[in-house]
């Protein structure tokens, strides 16, 4: 199965990615892993990758160039899970051509949606004791005494005053880039959005149901297929031709799965809210 996973920081992408990759035995491919692998190679691209890693900034062009040399070297026979790549619609277009040429087109795109307020609560509220590692959330689970760790009594650091604004800006930039990218995949009929406000376990069940209901496109990759004796076959174009669009029955089936998944998600949220309220009441 060939999957793209997209989601804002704090949406629980990492945990979900591990479950998907584990269940379907496919490699997780992130920007960091691609940049890191190429940076270890000799040559001009290796040098550029190392430089970009040092600066923690990778341009669109460089990322695509790195993917172009990295993807053919990976074992993608069972599929792949691309995380947070592509980053925009322009990259998506180039990546599609690249993956089609490899005979490994994207089967589905998973986008995790979390309400902005909820994300702020998760990202801004999360603090950790430097001394013993105990995790707190300033909003839902603060230490009993402000600024002091319940477990070890060490000081629990507060966030810098502009931290909330920084996070908020980061999320806004992210959502701005997402719009055209999601539209691109929506038009191609590959996009599936999930409410990721709840716990990872129920989210995983919903995602798995959609993955299992999605047929992996049958393609003949260059070199893998049968080559006619004496004939020079343009493997790239034949791979493209082999990519078939999903039938309307399958689409309808998927829509039904999505509906059911949404219902479950709503229930989970309601349960969570009830839990929170109970906690607060108990604290009083």
- Which residues are catalytic, by number? 13, 87, 126, 159, 170
CB of 155 to Zn ion, least distance (A): 9
Give the side-chain half-sphere CA count within 13 A for 231: 7
What angle (nearest 5°) sits at the alpha carbon of residue 163, between those of residues 35 and 138?
110
For Zn ion, give the closer residue by CB, 134 or 220. Answer: 134
d(CA 189, CA 177): 19
Cβ neighbours of residue 126 under 8 Å, at least 6 residues apart?
Answer: 135, 136, 137
Phi and psi at residue 99, in whole multiples of 5°? -70, -35
Binding site for Zn ion (CB under 5 A): 129, 131-132, 134, 149, 151-152, 154
- Kindly tell me which of 159 and 253 has the beta carbon lying closer to Zn ion: 159
- Phi/psi for 188 (5° steps) reads -85, 0
**Shortest Cβ distance from residue 188 to Zn ion (Å)?**
49
Least distance (Å) from Zn ion to the CB of residue 152?
3
In angstroms, give the least distance from the CB of 131 to Zn ion: 4
Measured CA to CA, the distance from residue 159 to residue 36 in angstroms comes to 30
Distance (Å, rounded) from C-alpha 119 to C-alpha 11? Answer: 7
Of the two residues 132 and 173, which places its CB atom closer to Zn ion in the complex? 132
| Smallest distance from Zn ion to CB 135, Å | 10
Quick one: which H or E segment has residue 194? strand 191-195
Question: What would the two tokens of residue 212 be?
Answer: 């299992």
Q: Closer CB to Zn ion, residue 134 or residue 257?
A: 134
Q: Give the relative orientation of helices 60-70 and 89-101 as an angle to the nearest 10 degrees.
A: 20
Name the minimum Å distance from CB 12 to Zn ion: 25
Tell me whether residue 154 or residue 242 sits nearer to Zn ion (CB atom): 154
Encoded tokens for 32: 């960091």
If the CB atoms of residues 88 and 134 are measured against Zn ion, the closer one turns out to be 134
Any residues with CB less than 8 A from the CB of 154 and at least 6 apart, and which?
129, 130, 131, 132, 148
Q: Is the peptide bond before 86 cis (omega within 30 degrees of 0)?
A: yes
């Amino acid at each position: 199965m060939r999957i793209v996973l997209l989601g804002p920081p704090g949406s629980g992408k990492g945990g979900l990615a591990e479950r998907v990759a584990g269940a379907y035995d496919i490699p997780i491919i992130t920007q960091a892993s691609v940049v890191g692998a190429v940076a270890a190679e000799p040559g001009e691209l290796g040098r550029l990758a190392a430089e970009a890693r040092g600066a923690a900034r990778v341009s669109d062009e460089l990322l695509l160039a790195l993917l172009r040399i990295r993807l053919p070297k990976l074992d993608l026979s069972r599929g792949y899970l691309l995380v947070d790549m592509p980053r925009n619609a322009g990259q998506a277009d180039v990546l599609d051509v690249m993956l089609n040429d490899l005979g490994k087109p994207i089967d589905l795109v998973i986008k995790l949606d979390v309400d902005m307020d909820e994300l702020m609560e998760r990202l801004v509220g999360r603090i950790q004791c430097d001394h013993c590692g105990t995790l707190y959330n300033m909003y839902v689970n603060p230490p009993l005494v402000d600024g002091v760790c319940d477990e070890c009594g060490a000081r629990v650091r507060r966030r810098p005053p502009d931290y909330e604004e920084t996070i908020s800006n980061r999320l806004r930039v992210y959502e701005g880039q997402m719009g055209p990218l999601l539209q691109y995949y929506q038009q191609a009929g590959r996009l599936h959005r999930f409410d990721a406000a709840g716990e990872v376990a129920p989210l995983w069940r919903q995602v798995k149901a959609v993955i299992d209901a999605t047929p992996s496109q049958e393609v003949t990759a260059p070199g893998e297929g049968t080559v006619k004796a004496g004939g020079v076959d343009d493997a790239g174009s034949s791979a493209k031709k082999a990519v078939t669009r999903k039938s309307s029955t399958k689409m309808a089936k998927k829509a039904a799965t999505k509906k059911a998944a949404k219902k479950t998600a709503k229930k989970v949220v309601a349960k969570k809210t009830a839990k929170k309220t109970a906690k607060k009441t108990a604290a009083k």
